Amino acid sequence: MLKNRNIGFYPITITIIALALIWIVGHGEAGEAGLNAQQLFVVDTIDLNNQDVDYHPEAAGAKHPKTISHYTRLLADMAYRIHNSYMEPIDAEELAKDAISGMLENLDPFSVILERKSYEDLMEKTHGKYEGLGIVIAKRGDYITVISPFEGTPAYNLGIQAGDKITRINGEDAKDMTVEEASDIMRGPAGTSIDITIQRPGMEEPLDYEIMRAVIELRSVNYAGVMENNIGYVRLSKFAETATEELRDAIDSLMHVADLNGLVLDLRSNGGGLLSQAVDIANLFLPSGNLVVSTRGYAPTSQREYLARNEPIYEGKPLIVLVDGGTASASEIVSGAIQDWDRGIIIGNTTFGKGLVQQIFTTQDPDIALKLTTAKYYIPSGRCIQRPERSKKHPDIAEDTDVSLEIDDGDETSENTELFLTKGGRPVYGGGGVVPDIEIERDQWQPIEINLERQTMFFDYAVDYTSKNPNVGRDFEVTDDIFQEFKQFCKDKEFTYKSKLQSKLEAFEETVKEQQKEDLFQNEIENLKQLVEAEKEKDFENSRDWIERSIKREVIRKLYGEKGVYEEMVLKTDPYVRKALEILNQKKEYSKILRPEDKSDS
């Protein structure tokens, strides 16, 4: 782990030589007293545990090829001369950091320097735990506001609620505190206590709490339950150290509750995690000996295969995996392996397309580590799902090309896309994420919807509404009166946003000013502004269905937590989940999708 000392960079020549040693030796053993070398196989931090040295294939026809040692000596020489001879003082630390950043500039976007805070955040996500109170907080106005407490944590057990404003922390006024400042104070060793004062909507007097810190576990499985016709559903949000254990327990629990006729594994917006967990989770559905993923890089030691090692716990029964554009890396390994072995059906949208693996290298500076892409990964059919545009920090994109890095349509494949086959002979393609077997049309958010969420109108309204109506049941529905009340609430909160038409009008106004034609177009512009405001009034009605669902979601979450949202909304109304249920309830259709197309039927 990082030690609590601030040493800074060594003199520049030693730093550069240390960098050379990292390149040559591969693990930076001299630096392990600072950042602890981790045996990590993660979404964007994979330690391949290589006992590797630099791999130098002989250059054909070169009598005396210059090695990395030559160039690191050259780099050290340049750095020394710049530091000592430039006309103005040059900070050694900044000089070294700039040099390192320059080396990483032309690499992929996932190869980066990790400083102490970034490293600690990564370890927290990887290990899935921290020491603190167990609340999610955000800035709302002048004060830090509780977004939600984690169930079973000290804050939850003492009754801290979503919407509580934290006004004092250990007697210090919390007004104008940043989220990071408040978080740093509230976190601390388990077993120690902290005093906080909150102002709860609907209550005149502030509430004082003394809360004992504890180890807070960030769960990978957010929810598991049984839907109609004994179809199981499990939401997996990340691949932390306990992900396989949590998912195994969840599936075991569902199978004890009901004789499952099918299972839905929800990997939407799951950015990944540990590679070892991805392999073990795929193994819950794939038989022992099946290839899950392989890695290939420049060094021979980076070429490895990862096989399922145990018998699956959920075998033979129908399986559907939900994915979207936020499904990345470790999630793509699992969904890709299930698709390639024809073990289940993939439903949703084309995935992110991150087929790279990283390794953490420690350095002689205890506050600095290097996260470097060392290999690409390949799922069982042999395809790499890495998107070319995600392989560089600065992809070359023509200005006149309408390119979306979010999600491709998935129904079309370019002429350069390589064709692969699943175990059963179904065509699949590499180079652009995992394309689902069944595509779900994505919601296209309108400007009003984006800004209502961004400005937390739904959350704030739910806090206000439930403070006045604390006994709302799970069957809560948004009536016309509630919808109109929400509109008035937004006006009172001075909610504002730019519509598409308004943005175009402002661009036109700017052009008019540049051409000095204000007098000529003044009346027309004022009329258009009135039309824009009238159209914005209609936006509420045009987005009414979406707004009502969002109000219901936040009211249910405020009163019944995430479990209530899953049971009253996700399982009942989510289009991805409902499509999965439809397919699982049609055994012939399920089997047909997993069969290769019969050309004689076309």
3-class DSSP state for residue 451?
helix
User: Which residue is it, tokens 């509580």?
Assistant: 164
Nearest C-alpha neighbor of 47 from the set 370, 380, 383:
370
- How far apart are alpha carbons 529 and 534 in whole angstroms? 9
Give whole-number Cα distances, 386 to 295, 299, 374, 432, in Å.
13, 19, 14, 6
Q: Determine whether 354 is an active site residue.
A: yes
276 to 22, 86, 265, 375: CA distances (angstroms): 25, 49, 18, 15
HEC sequence for 490-528: HHHCCCCCCCHHHHHHHHHHHHHHHCCCHHHHHHHHHHH
Residue 78, CA distances (Å) to 30, 103, 159, 453, 552 in order:
24, 14, 60, 51, 62
340 noted as active-site residue: yes
3-state secondary structure of 92: helix
Of 237, 294, 329, 331, the catalytic one is 329
Burial of residue 591 (CB within 10 Å: 0-12, 13-18, 19+) is exposed
Q: Using an 8 Å Cβ cutoff, are 329 and 274 in contact?
A: no
Q: How many CB atoms lie within 10 A of CB 318?
A: 22
SS (H, E, C) 12-28: HHHHHHHHHHHHHHCCC
For the question of residue 329 being annotated catalytic, the response is yes
258: which 2 tokens? 């009901």
| Candidates 165, 238, 354, 371; catalytic one | 354
- Our CA angle for 302, 306, 308, nearest 5°, is 175
Closest CA to 134 of 209, 199, 207, 212: 212
State the catalytic residue, choosing from 44, 340, 367, 464: 340
Active site residues: 329, 340, 354
